[in-house]
Copies of this chain bind each other. A is one copy, B any other.
Amino acid sequence: MQSKIMSRRDIDFLLYEWLDVEALNRRPRFQDHSRETFNAAIDTAEQIATDLFAPHNKKSDQEEPHAVPGERCLEVKVIPEVKVALDAFCAAGLMAAGQDFELGGMQLPCTVEKALSCYFTAANVGTTSYLFLTIGNANTLLKTGTPEQVRRYVAPMFEGRYFGTMCLSEPQAGSSLSDISTRAEPDPVAGLEGERQYRLSGNKMWISAGEHDLAGNIVHLVLAKIPGPDGKTIPGVKGISLFIVPKFLVNEDGTLGERNDVVLAGLNHKMGNRGTTNCLLNFGEGKFKPQGKAGAVGYLVGQPHQGLSNMFHMMNEARIGVGLGAVVLGYTGYLHALDYARNRPQGRHPANKDPARPQLSIIEHTDVRRMLLAQKAYVEGGLGLVLYSASLVDEQRTAETPEARERATRLLEFLTPITKSWPSQWCLEANSLAIQVHGGYGYTREYNVEQFYRDNRLNAIHEGTHGIHGLDLLGRKVSMQEGALFKAFAAEVRETVEAASLADAGAAVSPQLREYGDALAAALRRVQHVTQALYGAGDMNKTLANASAYLEAVGHVVVAWIWLEQAIVAARALRACGETGAAGEQADFYHGKLQACRYFFRWELPKVEQQLALLESIDTTTLDMQDAWF
């Protein structure tokens, strides 16, 4: 039976036929790799995800982690299947899949690492979160920590002995991180890096994986403010520093020491994503007195007052990760709906309703095909966007020339708000359509698709809300470096449009590619024109009032471009199928790509005109709305 977790055929298409990740093997960092080693890593991921992650996905939704009173503080119980799965992931060395060989890593390209991570998140997002939060934490410390911090905390995380968290938000400071009030008072001690020791006090909210019994230690990365000599902290983001706060102090020899004063105050109970604990944590509340003193022991990472930029070093990757999570939840939902639609008999064609004849599989109904094709267009378009963004990370790190690295950086900066937000919106819509294809069954917990829908709804909220990414794109990214980021994107699109007109020449199978290219080029020009109009409004409140609509319109243009890229490859491959006489399944796959591209250009891209016209008119409907009028 075909996997309902991910489509390996599609991943292969994107990696090898479109993004050509094999070419990376010519670069020194990846020279020990080959298509075979990439495939072996993905095979391993598929196997472990299928065998150990997917089977308890529903169970960990239904029997979510719960807090129980421990000896001196609340503890958390998680169903045993989670640890078995996590241990298998770590034992396979996947925690360090992208790291240097010398760190025990596999030195895989980011693109391949993201491709294999699709399987885990699609199979079980709740269990997988523990892993990817740890990897994000470790990457941050690798970039900004001291060698001693790397030795003491990062190495055990890559071995899977410790897990990590990111502690940013507080109850009164979610989107507005400048308002955090957790304090860190200097507490220098003797010994290695003793001058980095601080005492932290405060509360952190929404801490995923903040407490559990799945690893020997938990390494919290915590944003806090260091007070000045007057006891006051610097207001705003400039006052924020970054600290390591381990659940258990770590001795110099790597053994675990005292329990630190970071304790669970309570769990948040979410609509979805239930397998991951989500915590309110108290720091320095007094439950424990490590080293005989009040306050949670923390260690400064990097320079004081550089906390936010240190933490945000890894934000692009974290945001690609959110986009990936949204895509693959949509993707697995689509595969479930497709399987259901092929096997559920119901109804007859409008043109032949004879009730004496057997019922049809519902995939025969045009409206069901519409829902499946829409899902396909969203999730395969989204996966293309996410893997393309990952390939830019590889380019940024390993491209041969500074120009190529600069180009990748610009594209990545421009695309990140879209890579995070577009799938959070449209692959959630795919999940809704997957429920709809299942009818009443899809609305029950006896089936899987309702959970995907609940799980996915988180993604428009965390790692920056939808609205905040709109402001990031329109308020920062398009104007940065005098528009260089946008120009880098526009240059890519123009290349694709050019390629589409060539791919089209003489290709009987894809007569629409030129038409799509023209539509894309027109949409791009519209976006550029509208962007100028917005910046000509002469009032940033007006410029930014409808930033969410801008984000959504540009997002659709970006994904149309991703689809045209895929269609060009598919059209070429289909021609080759004809030449080599290959047919059947092989040709079907490429026909499917072309049809999904057609769907996107006929049904989706035209939606942006309404948004762009609204933006161009500098509409102030929302700006003019008064509180009292609601």
User: Is residue A545 contacting chain B, with contact meaning CB distance below 8 A?
Assistant: yes
Contact B366 A623 (CB under 8 A): yes
List, in ascending order, chain B residues with CB within 8 A of A545's CB. 366, 370
Which residue of B546, B588, B603, B629 is within 8 Å of A626 (Cβ)?
A: B588
Contact A369 B625 (CB under 8 A): yes
Which residue of B369, B443, B585 is within 8 Å of A271 (Cβ)?
A: B443
Contact A439 B627 (CB under 8 A): no
User: Is residue A254 contacting chain B, with contact meaning CB distance below 8 A?
Assistant: no
| Smallest beta-carbon distance A158→chain B, Å | 29
Cα A237 to Cα B453 with chains together (Å):
35
| Smallest beta-carbon distance A549→chain B, Å | 8
Q: Secondary structure of the A side of the interface?
A: helix
List, in ascending order, chain B residues with CB within 8 A of A602's CB. 614, 619, 621
| Smallest beta-carbon distance A461→chain B, Å | 6
Cα A624 to Cα B609 with chains together (Å):
26
The A595-625 residues at the B interface (CB cut-off 8 A) are 595, 598-599, 602-603, 606-607, 609-610, 613-614, 619, 621-625
The A358-397 residues at the B interface (CB cut-off 8 A) are 359, 363-373, 376
- Copies of this chain present: 2
Contact B439 A373 (CB under 8 A): no
A541-562 vs B, CB cutoff 8 Å, 1 = contact: the mask equals: 1001111100000000000000
Contact B622 A373 (CB under 8 A): yes
Which residue of B444, B462, B592 is within 8 Å of A270 (Cβ)?
A: B444
Cα A348 to Cα B588 with chains together (Å):
53
Contact A606 B595 (CB under 8 A): no
| Smallest beta-carbon distance A438→chain B, Å | 9
Which stretch of A14-22, A116-124, A288-296, A349-357 is in the interface? Answer: A349-357
List, in ascending order, chain B residues with CB within 8 A of A372's CB. 625, 630
Contact A599 B622 (CB under 8 A): yes
| Smallest beta-carbon distance A509→chain B, Å | 13
User: Is residue A257 contacting chain B, with contact meaning CB distance below 8 A?
Assistant: no
A462-498 vs B, CB cutoff 8 Å, 1 = contact: the mask equals: 1001110011000100000000000000000000000
Which residue of B446, B457, B621 is within 8 Å of A443 (Cβ)?
A: B457
Besides A236-B356, A602-B614, 17 new A-B residue pairs in contact (Cβ under 8 A), listed by A number: A173-B346, A174-B346, A178-B353, A235-B356, A268-B446, A350-B541, A351-B541, A363-B630, A364-B627, A372-B630, A373-B621, A376-B630, A432-B457, A439-B461, A589-B629, A595-B624, A595-B626
Residues of A within 8 A of B (CB): 169, 172-176, 178-179, 205-206, 235-237, 268-272, 338, 342, 345-351, 353-356, 359, 363-373, 376, 432, 435-436, 439-440, 442-446, 450, 453-454, 457-458, 460-462, 465-467, 470-471, 475, 540-541, 544-548, 585, 588-589, 591-592, 595, 598-599, 602-603, 606-607, 609-610, 613-614, 619, 621-630
Interchain residue pairs with CB less than 8 A apart (23): A175-B346, A175-B439, A178-B353, A205-B440, A235-B356, A268-B444, A271-B450, A271-B453, A350-B471, A350-B544, A364-B627, A366-B544, A367-B467, A367-B622, A435-B457, A436-B461, A440-B462, A442-B461, A595-B621, A595-B626, A599-B625, A603-B614, A609-B610
